[in-house]
Amino acid sequence: QVQLVESGGGLVQAGGSLRLSCAASGLPSDYYYALGWFRQTPGKEREFVAVQNWNDRYYVDSVKGRFTISGDNVKSSVFLQMNSLQPEDTAIYYCAATPLFTSSFNYRRATSWDYWGQGTRVTVSS
């Protein structure tokens, strides 16, 4: 059974930092996996935040320079260091996994990904 378990969410003041963690287990051993983070607020679609695809890392423009993704695609663990948090970063953050992908893969689209965690809530107060 595949499980992705996120942790590290919480309440923080604007300008503060949080570090999210995601540990995956039960992933089929045929592949190494790209690991990513998405976020979602009520009434909105799930939004891409960041992805680590082996040595490549991609971010949504709104978090560049503030968030850093790191982890181990072999061990299927990923972290998201979030600095200079703003109220607009408030959301439920989800970890996602899919086999390592090539340039034709639309990693920004949530439906492209195969496995998901249950999410961890991040609230940034002004």
Looking at residue 26, its pLDDT comes to 94
Averages of pLDDT over each 10 residues, the chain, 126 residues: 97 98 93 95 97 96 98 88 98 96 94 97 97
pLDDT on residue 7: 97
| Cα 14 from Cα 28, distance rounded (Å) | 39
CB atoms within 10 A of CB 70: 14
CA distance 2 to 28: 8
Cα–Cα distance between 35 and 57 in angstroms, integer?
A: 10
* pLDDT tens for each residue of 28-45: 988 899 999 999 999 999
